[in-house]
Amino acid sequence: MDNLQAIRATILAFRIRWNGGLKTANTVIYGEEDRELTALECEAIGYSYIMSSPTDDVASLIELLGSGQLSLFRDRKVSAALQDFLLIRARARDANIGVMNASTVLLSKYPELIQVAASSRQALTPAVYQCDVSAMRLSQGFINDYEVVRNNFANYMLGNNRVSESLSALHSVLDNVLGLTHQETSP
């Protein structure tokens, strides 16, 4: 479970960063602050369509579900934590389907407002975006779509945070029941 939590944390770190950029961009886009968008805010708008969820599958749990042996857990705390995790995960997955279906790729729909300024040919190297905030403020279509995207991204983050918290709670319950402790190792 440590590996799963670490993988989720790495992926969600980017999404947390972008969510923060979307939040701080509001005051600029809505004209409450008279400044240009920061590089992070523009990047967040450019990447706001990326809402793929990091994995939340626990291999041993999949085996237990598949074999119908989930009832092997007699401890009520473990059973409750497993049920909570499965329910929260299912709700988050359902919500993310709705969010993805209602999402707009602002970068493609408004190329005059958001442009790729620099890109690398290396995989997973982020592009650098350039945003025309003055034109964004004048485009009611952009503002409408931005508001939907911003809310969708916030809901996506909320669901993923709930899954991470539930996974962490399940991990803690299992550790307590099994008497496990995790020690930091140093090289």
Decide: helix, strand or coil at residue 130.
Answer: strand
Minimal CA–CA distance to 96: which of 15, 179, 35? Answer: 15
End-to-end CA distance of the chain: 21
pLDDT at 62: 65
pLDDT at 1: 75
pTM for the whole structure = 0.82
Cα 150 to its chain centre, rounded Å, is: 12
Count of residues in the chain? 187
* Per-residue pLDDT reduced to its tens digit, 114-164: 999 887 676 666 788 999 999 999 999 999 999 999 999 999 999 999 999
* Per-residue pLDDT reduced to its tens digit, 43-91: 999 999 988 888 888 766 766 666 666 666 677 888 888 889 889 999 9
Domain ranges of the chain: 2-178
* Per-residue pLDDT reduced to its tens digit, 1-35: 788 888 889 889 989 999 999 999 999 999 999 99
**% helix / strand / coil in the chain, to the nearest 5?**
65, 5, 30
